[in-house]
Amino acid sequence: MTCRRVFIRVYERKGRSQLRTVPIVHSLGYEATGKDEDAIREYEQVLARGNERSHSYDTPAFHKIVDAHYRLGTLFESAGQSERARSYLQQFLKYWSQPDSNLEIYRDAERRLRSLTVSVGH
């Protein structure tokens, strides 16, 4: 599937609000098509602009920034860059002061972080 088709699917599924954060749409498209380096670049752009876009924990932009940390952690883990993966996953988990322990993304981040910590410890 081409990135363009993925972008269209994301737009159709998520709606117009996703277009306000084009790097997020690009990131999702690149990630879905296996273009991890491009996805990493786009997610890092989102984080670089994070301070200008997230003024409240309740804003959609803030939630996208938190999600970008998780996504970068998983991408760097897949790329074998454990230190960077660990850093992004730790930051993602810091944003959750009182997580819903049943939330899959939170449990997955914890599991990945434990796995990365164990692999470095050996």
pLDDT digits (tens, 9 = 90+) for 20-40: 556 777 788 888 888 899 899
Residues of the chain with pLDDT > 70, as a percent, come to: 67
3-state SS, 32-93, equals HCCCHHHHHHHHHHHHHCHHHHCCCCCCHHHHHHHHHHHHHHHHHHHCCCHHHHHHHHHHHH
Instruction: Note whether 92 and 73 are within 8 A (CB).
Output: yes
- Mean pLDDT by 10-residue block, N- to C-terminus, for the chain (122 residues)? 59 52 76 89 84 59 85 95 96 80 86 84 53
> What span, in angstroms and rounded, lies between the C-alpha atoms of 25 and 58?
20
> What span, in angstroms and rounded, lies between the C-alpha atoms of 16 and 65?
18
> What span, in angstroms and rounded, lies between the C-alpha atoms of 116 and 82?
6
Predicted local confidence at residue 52, as pLDDT? 59
Predicted local confidence at residue 75, as pLDDT? 96
- Four-way CATH pick for 3-121: 3.30.1130.10, 1.25.40.10, 3.10.20.600, 3.10.20.30: 1.25.40.10
For the chain, give the mean pLDDT.
Answer: 78
For the chain, the domains span 3-121
> What span, in angstroms and rounded, lies between the C-alpha atoms of 70 and 75?
9
Q: If you count DSSP H runs as helices and E runs as strands, how many of each does the chain have, helices first?
A: 7, 0
Amino acid at 14: K
The whole-model pTM stands at: 0.72
Instruction: Note whether 3 and 30 are within 8 A (CB).
Output: yes
